[in-house]
Structure 1
Amino acid sequence: MHIRTSLRAALAGAALFAFAGTAAAVDWRGWNIHPEGYPNTVAMEQFAEEVAEKTEGRINPTVYNGGVLGAQPDAIEQTRNGALDFANFNMGPMGPIVPATNVLSLPFLFDSVEHMHKVMDGEIGQRFSDALSEYGLVALSWFDSGSRSFYNTKKPIKTPQDVEGLKIRVMNNDLYVQMVDALGGNATPMAYGEVFQSLKTGVIDGAENNYPSFESSNHYEAAKYYSITDHLIIPECLCIAKASWDELTPQDQEIVRQAAVRAAETQRQLWAERSKASREKVEAAGVIVNEVEDKAMFQAAMQPLYETFVQENPDLEPLIMAIRETK
């Protein structure tokens, strides 16, 4: 009887241990707006695989691509409240929620993509991470989203006057509305998924984005004029819900952070390759690409926007100056 009792106790203990191990594992849901094969998608899936492997299954992330879990504004809220665990967010639509990130949406803020990398990978990037954490998000690394330029169905854009009267889709942020308005266009905030049909039916005349998005969304099939203004260089984050982050042990936090940094390295490399390939593809399809020779005219048109922004956000002026002074 004693042996049987001991055996039953041992088996019960083993079962309890196995159950506890299973209970400790968590499934993470991740949001991504981009399609399969896109640089961001490859990087996000790399992140998920590395986290699962290096935590030995304690965390099992799954990335849901193509925006199937909703548009970005909805996904931001879901991540903030913990319904989603991680995501790749563009900082553009983040502005209405996290005011400090509006700085990153100021036109012609960065001199180049390389300048943006240097800023976001350093102390200034950490300031933005701190601002996000106050709103339920932890930014672990920064992705590229290239430089954004205008494209439309009507004509090349060479001067600000060429924007006058055009209906231009913008992301959901008042700064982008002000940007297009300052050029004489009619800004139309619209979900990304609605742009292609709106271009085809004439609801809008154009939009603004980078080469990979212009190509992968098939917008180039409707809008045959792409004008390189490079007016916006907006970083993206690989963000974790603060609620999910706070549940991790310090050991797993470090694993997740390092996986996010490596994912950003992969994304940036693939992004540079994809940008080149996307430009070649749209030009081969008949898109007329023109370099804007005098960007100073566009920059001058943004001066009132900057003045208004600083008047309304005087506390953010030092941040703007710090970015511009970073070399």
Structure 2
Amino acid sequence: MMNRRRFLSTGIGLACAAPLASLAAKPDAVAGTVLTATDVHVKNYPTVEAVRWIGQVLEQETGGRIGIRLYHSGQLGRESEAIDMARFGAIDMTRVYSGALNNAFPLTQALSLPYVFESVAHMRRAMDSDVGTRVLEGFSKRDLVGLAIYDSGARCFYNARRPLHTPQDLHGLKIRVPASDIFIRMLRMFGANPTPLSLGEVFSGMETKMIDGAENNMRSFHSSRHFEAAAYWSQSEHSYAPDVLLISRRSFDALAPADRELLLDAARRSVAVMRQHWDASESAARQAVLDYGVKFNEVDMAAFRKAAEPLLADYTRRSEIQPLYRRIRDLA
């Protein structure tokens, strides 16, 4: 198994663009081109399965000339590191949570605001519309190409201390959040102590009591086994911020034009594959953590929405966010 340190120290990361450059120079080359893709999620996670499916399509349609080597489970590092490695061409593709992209790519902020989406169906309608297209196009400004937007479910709070019914119940709790100004400010408005950590640090953080809990979707709560450290799940549904599949602009441009179109088409079609895996596995994940003994509770949704209003008002006044936000709400 290759980890991030070995990947970079052996020079594979820096050299991964070389086969693509060769292919661009000789489109009919016999030698195969392997795109390196990363994901922090486990091997059977819906986004991992979707990218694996893209690789299968590429291999089939090109007779094995192009494929994907997928490193799941955070083998090549954190999402923040993967973004930079893709931007500079050290890796080719990465699946990243949109919350981790907020600071560098402002258009993603419209997707991460609290209570901007009403449901998974609403989020999917928006991402399948011109909203998703505009967000994907925004990545071109910083050496990336947006390939697809994947679901990330309803994000809710879980912790090891107590059930959360209102924002007041979060007061004093140390809650892990992604490295996003939106999530940090939101948790402060709820009265919690927001603690930015990578996903891989959450379990040990709860075990050692460095943090009291976190917020994420049910599928991740289960696959990361965070339910073994957090006995309380509170159905706040404060965010439906999706995931984004990206490729390095350098890697994308090195592909022959027909191969670029093939990749874009496969990525678009992979959204349905991802959603099928998501829908099939989310209810099973919920039942598994219930069987383990995690205590579920509903929250006072009106109280959480009210506490988040100042944050929502601030961001939706911004010129680049306002039209996207209005379009999303029109699709509610």
Deviation at 1:139, TM superposition (A): 1.6
Rounded to whole Å, the distance in 2 between the matches of 1:51 and 1:23 is 15
Q: Give the conservation status (yes or no) of the 8 Å contact 2:86–2:144.
A: yes
Deviation at 1:263, TM superposition (A): 1.9
Deviation at 1:322, TM superposition (A): 1.5
Tell which deviates more after alignment, 241-250 or 112-121: 241-250
Pairs within 5 Å for 1:183-202: 183-202=190-209
SS at match of 1:302: helix
One-letter amino acid of the counterpart of residue 144, structure 1: D
Q: Does structure 1 residue 314 correspond to structure 2 residue 319?
A: yes
One-letter amino acid of the counterpart of residue 322, structure 1: R
Rounded to whole Å, the distance in 1 between the matches of 2:181 and 2:244 is 20
The percentage of aligned residue pairs carrying the same residue is: 39
Q: Give the conservation status (yes or no) of the 8 Å contact 1:31–1:87.
A: yes
Q: Does structure 1 residue 99 correspond to structure 2 residue 106?
A: yes
- String of CA shifts for 1:232-268, please: whole Å, max 9, x gaps: 1011122221222222233212211221123221111
Q: Does structure 1 residue 159 correspond to structure 2 residue 166?
A: yes
Q: Give the conservation status (yes or no) of the 8 Å contact 2:145–2:249.
A: yes
Rounded to whole Å, the distance in 1 between the matches of 2:112 and 2:149 is 15
Rounded to whole Å, the distance in 2 between the matches of 1:195 and 1:235 is 20
Rounded to whole Å, the distance in 2 between the matches of 1:238 and 1:320 is 21
Q: How many residues align?
A: 307
| Correspondence for 2:253 | 246
Q: Give the conservation status (yes or no) of the 8 Å contact 1:55–1:255.
A: no
| Correspondence for 1:40 | 47
Rounded to whole Å, the distance in 1 between the matches of 2:111 and 2:125 is 14
Q: Give the conservation status (yes or no) of the 8 Å contact 1:211–1:278.
A: yes
| Correspondence for 1:7 | none
SS at match of 2:67: strand
| Correspondence for 1:15 | none
Deviation at 1:167, TM superposition (A): 0.6
Instruction: Pick the aligned partner of 1:290 from 297, 304, 311.
Output: 297
One-letter amino acid of the counterpart of residue 240, structure 1: I
Q: Does structure 1 residue 29 correspond to structure 2 residue 24?
A: no
| Pairwise CA RMSD | 1.6
- String of CA shifts for 1:60-96, please: whole Å, max 9, x gaps: 2111111111100110011111111112111110111
| Correspondence for 1:299 | 305
Instruction: Pick the aligned partner of 2:78 from 58, 71, 83.
Output: 71
Q: Give the conservation status (yes or no) of the 8 Å contact 2:316–2:325.
A: no
SS at match of 2:320: helix
- String of CA shifts for 1:3-37, please: whole Å, max 9, x gaps: xxxxxxxxxxxxxxxx9654764221111111122
Deviation at 1:97, TM superposition (A): 1.2
Pairs within 5 Å for 1:185-224: 185-224=192-231
Rounded to whole Å, the distance in 1 between the matches of 2:264 and 2:319 is 33
Q: Does structure 1 residue 228 correspond to structure 2 residue 235?
A: yes
Deviation at 1:136, TM superposition (A): 1.7
Q: Give the conservation status (yes or no) of the 8 Å contact 2:107–2:320.
A: no
Rounded to whole Å, the distance in 2 between the matches of 1:71 and 1:315 is 28
Q: Give the conservation status (yes or no) of the 8 Å contact 1:182–1:302.
A: yes
Rounded to whole Å, the distance in 2 between the matches of 1:147 and 1:259 is 26
Rounded to whole Å, the distance in 2 between the matches of 1:48 and 1:262 is 12
Q: Give the conservation status (yes or no) of the 8 Å contact 1:141–1:264.
A: yes
* Consecutive unaligned residues in structure 2, runs of 5 or more: 1-24
| Correspondence for 2:3 | none
One-letter amino acid of the counterpart of residue 88, structure 1: R
Deviation at 1:108, TM superposition (A): 0.6
| Residues 1:198 and 1:111: Cα distance change in structure 2 (over 3 Å) | same
- String of CA shifts for 1:140-168, please: whole Å, max 9, x gaps: 22211101000000111111111111110
Instruction: Pick the aligned partner of 1:137 from 132, 144, 148.
Output: 144
Rounded to whole Å, the distance in 1 between the matches of 2:271 and 2:324 is 24
Instruction: Pick the aligned partner of 2:97 from 82, 90, 93.
Output: 90
SS at match of 1:141: strand
One-letter amino acid of the counterpart of residue 151, structure 1: Y
| Correspondence for 2:10 | none
One-letter amino acid of the counterpart of residue 65, structure 2: R
Rounded to whole Å, the distance in 2 between the matches of 1:270 and 1:212 is 11
One-letter amino acid of the counterpart of residue 302, structure 1: A
One-letter amino acid of the counterpart of residue 170, structure 1: V
Tell which deviates more after alignment, 222-231 or 52-61: 52-61
Q: Does structure 1 residue 51 correspond to structure 2 residue 58?
A: yes
One-letter amino acid of the counterpart of residue 206, structure 1: G
Rounded to whole Å, the distance in 2 between the matches of 1:251 and 1:24 is 17
Rounded to whole Å, the distance in 2 between the matches of 1:262 and 1:103 is 24
Q: Higher Cα Rg: structure 1 or 2? A: 1
| Correspondence for 2:16 | none
SS at match of 1:29: strand
One-letter amino acid of the counterpart of residue 303, structure 1: E
One-letter amino acid of the counterpart of residue 147, structure 1: A
SS at match of 1:89: strand
